[in-house]
Amino acid sequence: MAGSGMKEVVLNPEREFSVLRRHPWIFSGAVAAVNGEPGPGETVRVVSSAGMVLGAGAYSPESQIRVRMWTFTADTHVDKDLVYCRVARAIGSRAVLLAEASTDAFRLINAEADGMPGVIVDKYRDWLVCQFTTAGAEYWKREIIEALMVYMPCRGIYERSEADVRKHEGLTDKAGLLSGEMPPERIEISEHGCRYLVDVRGGQKTGFYLDQRDNRKTVALYANGCEVLNAFSYTGGFGVAALKAGAQSVTHVDISESALQMARDNTSLNVCDLDCSEFIHGSVFDVLRKFRDQGRCFDMVVLDPPKFADSKGSLMKAARGYKDINLLGFKLLRPGGLLATFSCSGIMTPDLFRKVVSDAAVDAQRDVQLTAHMQQATDHPQGLCFPEGFYLKGMLCRVW
Ligand code: SAH
């Protein structure tokens, strides 16, 4: 071990390229040697085969992603000050958003993109909700919470570390209060003039899909007078925004009964009654087929499915799923109608997604214009050298 006695990981010469390109993940196959038996989450110096110091990262003995980089500098010191700096930097970079009067729910820390692999922090009005998904994030958890209390004072900090990736890191799920007051069962947030109830303790992810904020606004812009189908509605997001913007009616479809109940409550919160809203419990694949067979039509269809693919192995099956729902979506649209279609599978590239949706248009025998590209909201930035951070892609299509 060279120098200060710090534990270190030595890379294979043919696998150094990505670290030199500032990519934050080092896979187990890129590691030639580990010196000093680092524990889970402990900081290791990352060294090239020729002995050059490339930076420092968090070691994760059980994960295929063996090291996640904290820094790419020769100064490999990772301590409380660095953690505080990163938290301050992430919050500071969202100052413009945080000043926005119409919205009070944001992502404050977006993992790798904010120099904090495995750390997700969402702000729902006066509460923060955290996910620590990696050994390195878990290792620095206390410091991260302290820094949040300094830089983003709030009523309480709640943990929802229940992501699948924790298993690959050798971590078990954790949820509960980390600091301050327990969040209420439902926190009411505002987003571009809509109000939504968020169940941060029991809802999906940290409670709400904040990454779709800008896209809900885009959909609302076109929704006036439309009959809208909100497929994979979750708690109503797109549909409620559309209704508030003057949609004639909204049909929500989701497989989760509790999400639909919340969609009902969110509708009541924003418009006086439920008369123009329909809530269908079932699988989108079945419900859309049924609508097609019944000859039902809409002016706008939103397709925001969950992640269909999480590995290269599941990509082709996922592509068939995306094609299926998009084909049905096209068929249900009146001429001149709009399809807002999304994929949140990071492994599916924008090019492949476009190909799948265009294949669906061909099979549906419809002329389709691509009106706008959509993506994750600006509080979910991606590291420029970390393409995996770009996961949410959307297209707004006009269908003739
Ligand atoms: N558009 C939403 C987020 C959608 S998340 C928003 O803006 O808030 C994806 C949703 O799809 C989840 O609510 C999940 O319950 C639902 N879902 C997953 N598989 C489904 C299926 N086969 N049919 C219907 N809903 C499904």
Rounded CA separation 295/383 (Å): 45
pLDDT for the residue numbered 1 = 45
The residues that bridge with 124 in the sheet, in sequence order, are 105, 127
Could you tell me the pTM of the whole model?
Answer: 0.96
Find the 343 Cα to ligand 1 centroid distance in Å.
12
pLDDT for the residue numbered 311 = 87
Find the 198 Cα to ligand 1 centroid distance in Å.
15
Q: What is the pLDDT along the chain (400 residues), one digit of tens a residue?
A: 445 678 999 999 999 999 999 999 999 999 999 999 999 999 999 999 999 999 999 999 999 999 999 999 999 999 999 999 999 999 999 999 999 989 999 999 999 999 999 999 999 999 999 999 999 999 999 999 999 999 999 999 999 999 888 988 999 999 999 999 999 999 999 999 999 999 999 999 999 999 999 999 999 999 999 999 999 999 999 999 999 999 999 999 999 999 999 999 999 999 988 999 999 999 999 999 999 999 999 999 999 999 999 888 999 999 999 999 999 999 999 999 999 999 999 999 999 999 999 999 999 999 999 999 999 999 999 999 999 999 999 999 999 9
Closest atom, ligand 1, to C-alpha of 259: 13
pLDDT for the residue numbered 187 = 98
Closest atom, ligand 1, to C-alpha of 304: 1
User: CB of 283 closer than 6 A to ligand 1?
Assistant: yes
pLDDT for the residue numbered 101 = 87
Find the 229 Cα to ligand 1 centroid distance in Å.
13
- Contact in structure between 359 and 321 (CB atoms under 8 Å): no
Which are the catalytic amino acids?
A: 344
Rounded CA separation 337/221 (Å): 14
Closest atom, ligand 1, to C-alpha of 209: 8
Find the 254 Cα to ligand 1 centroid distance in Å.
5
User: CB of 387 closer than 6 A to ligand 1?
Assistant: no
Find the 279 Cα to ligand 1 centroid distance in Å.
13
Pocket probe mutation, ligand 1, options 205, 214, 234, max atoms within 8 Å of Cβ = 234
Determine the length of the chain.
Answer: 400
Element (H, E) at 121: strand 119-124
Pocket probe mutation, ligand 1, options 254, 288, 308, max atoms within 8 Å of Cβ = 254
pLDDT for the residue numbered 4 = 60
Q: Residue whose CA is closest, atom 16 of ligand 1?
A: 232
The stretches of the chain forming alpha helices (DSSP H) are 17-20, 80-92, 95-98, 135-139, 141-151, 165-168, 213-221, 237-244, 257-270, 284-294, 315-331, 350-364
Q: Residue whose CA is closest, atom 8 of ligand 1?
A: 237
User: CB of 259 closer than 6 A to ligand 1?
Assistant: yes
Q: What is the DSSP string of 141-176?
A: HHHHHHHHHHHS--SEEEEEE--THHHHTT---EEE
Q: Residue whose CA is closest, atom 18 of ligand 1?
A: 306
